[in-house]
Structure 1
Amino acid sequence: MSMSLKERLKDYIKSQSITIKDFERSLGMSNGYVNSISKGLGDEYMTRLIEKYPTLNIPWLLTGEGDMLIGDTNVSGNHSLGVNNGSVTHSFNSQLESSFLKAFEASQTQLTTTLAQLSTSQTQLINSQSQTTALIEQLAKSQQQISELINLLKDK
């Protein structure tokens, strides 16, 4: 079983001989953020991570593939990282791009399914609203008939 992003991040932190608390503080994370990671890091934290910890191999962190640590700017041509005037650039290999594309396509499929479910729910809601309106109109007619019957009975 492969390690999760959270487990790989904890391994990296341990390899740097710092505490999770110090790591979180260095990136402006709230206390306990690392232990609460379930899916991934936000863009802001990822950018800070790349800037403050340039030896961390980001493709390894995201996928578990490759080595944990990289040199200052290059890893065997698979991942280059440059920090120039505060701007961070990434160049991922085609295998990593492919895995991101697959994840994106899976997310897109899930979104399409969710939208279809929402559309079905919306149709059901509209039908329920129509039925409710019809029942309210029928109830109003029944109340009118009851009022007319009561008036007839009073007149006799």
Structure 2
Amino acid sequence: MPSSPHLICSYDDVLHIAEEIDLLVHAELVSPFKLDKARLYGLNKNCVPSLLGENENPYELLMETVRPLKCHAACLVVTGWAAPFENEMGNDQEPDCRPSEHPKRQRVRICVAIGEAMIVTVMRTSEKPEEVMAMSERGMGELPDVLEAWWNGGSD
């Protein structure tokens, strides 16, 4: 975690938080992709994490958890399915089916971290469970948007 108290606003700070929370969760799970409930961690100004809540539904977790005033960063951890977006022509496009039904599906664990004005997502896949990959963008789907709304004090 960043070693000195400061605003957690750089990409590297938030990436480091996502990676550290991923390591924390990875160390305690027997099966790296079996997490019964989504987890939300808050970090204080010294970047010490504490579990803010758990829920089977990550969206409900964010709606029912109030952001603590002294929360300088947060990280949401979920597991699920992922599938490639690439079609036969090599173009990225929305898949024709749910990731869990795709023939090339794989299990993933995703850590979406947020600091001041920055969201970073890292993930592990069942194909390469020991490799933590930083996603090139903030992440796919609604989860980063809902986390950002929670961070900013709203649930919409």
- The TM-score with structure 1 as length reference comes to 0.27
- Answer 1 or 2: which has greater helix percent: 1
Structure possessing the higher relative contact order (Cα contacts under 8 Å, 6 or more residues apart): 2
* Greater C-alpha Rg: 1
Q: TM-score, normalised by structure 2?
A: 0.27
Higher strand share: 2
